[in-house]
């Protein structure tokens, strides 16, 4: 992507009413499309969605394919796609606006700071779809199912709230299974090493992101875990 095109996307993003951004990790505050500071923690339903429907996050949402598709399928559920990459969020936010989806928002921030922008018990479920598996030695704690991240999710999830992981990386799914086994507070509800080896058990799994399609073309098996923390 050219630098000029990326700059245009960042400029567009600042005008999108469905996008909230934290521009500086040292200043944990959000701005809206009017470049005004807003306090969304605890107020997502009241101030943005204008309802009391369940709230689901997609973490490291990339281009937001899962966020947008799930929102289309479930108009009575609210969705927030979370990513630090503004040029990626641009695609999902643009699609959501074009489809006139009122149950979609995007939060541009580091996931390490997620609890700064959502209050305890505000979130019903979390999806992690094809996030970076951080396979290099010494990077395990950056995986989105590493214990430090699960601790962050506990701060915002409702008791019994679900966490979903969909990945093509066996190392990440095996790592996650090990983390869950070592943590007595967690409960593994479902695991399948190759979801397409037989009919899907959950309709949400039919959604395929750009990366999933690419992995499937390479013959990789898609793994799926569902658990509580």
Residues 142/121/126/78 CA torsion (nearest 10 deg): -140
Distance from the Cα of residue 151 to its chain's centroid: 16
Supply φ then ψ for residue 68, to 5 degrees.
-70, -45
Give which of 176, 159, 158 is closest to 167, Cα–Cα.
Answer: 176
What number of CA atoms fall less than 13 Å from residue 5's CA on the CB side? 6
Which one of the listed residues 132, 151, 174, 201 is annotated catalytic?
Answer: 132
Tokens of residue 75, six digits: 């108009």
Query: 14 is written with which tokens?
Result: 């600042």
**Residue 32: active-site member:** no
Q: For the chain, percent helix, then strand, then coil, each to nearest 5?
A: 40, 25, 40
What amino acid positions are annotated as catalytic residues?
132
């Amino acid at each position: 992507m050219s630098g000029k095109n990326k700059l245009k996307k960042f400029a567009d993003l600042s005008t999108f009413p469905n996008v909230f951004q934290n521009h500086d990790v040292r200043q944990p505050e959000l701005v809206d499309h009017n470049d005004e500071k807003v306090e969304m923690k605890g107020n997502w339903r009241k101030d943005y969605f204008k309802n009391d429907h369940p709230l689901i996050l997609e973490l490291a949402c990339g281009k937001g394919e899962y966020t947008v598709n799930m929102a289309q399928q479930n108009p009575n559920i609210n969705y927030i796609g979370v990513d630090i990459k503004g040029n990626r969020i641009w695609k999902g936010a643009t699609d959501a606006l074009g489809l006139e989806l009122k149950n979609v928002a995007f939060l541009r921030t580091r996931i390490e700071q997620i609890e700064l922008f959502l209050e305890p018990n505000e979130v019903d479920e979390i999806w992690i779809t094809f996030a970076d598996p951080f396979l290099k030695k010494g990077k395990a704690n950056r995986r989105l199912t590493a214990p430090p991240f699960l601790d962050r999710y506990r701060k915002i999830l409702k008791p019994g709230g679900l966490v979903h992981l969909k990945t093509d990386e066996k190392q990440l799914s095996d790592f996650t299974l090990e983390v869950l086994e070592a943590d007595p507070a967690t409960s593994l509800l479902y695991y399948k090493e190759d979801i397409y080896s037989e009919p899907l058990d959950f309709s949400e799994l039919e959604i395929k992101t750009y990366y999933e399609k690419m992995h499937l073309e390479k013959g990789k098996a898609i793994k799926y875990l569902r658990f509580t923390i």
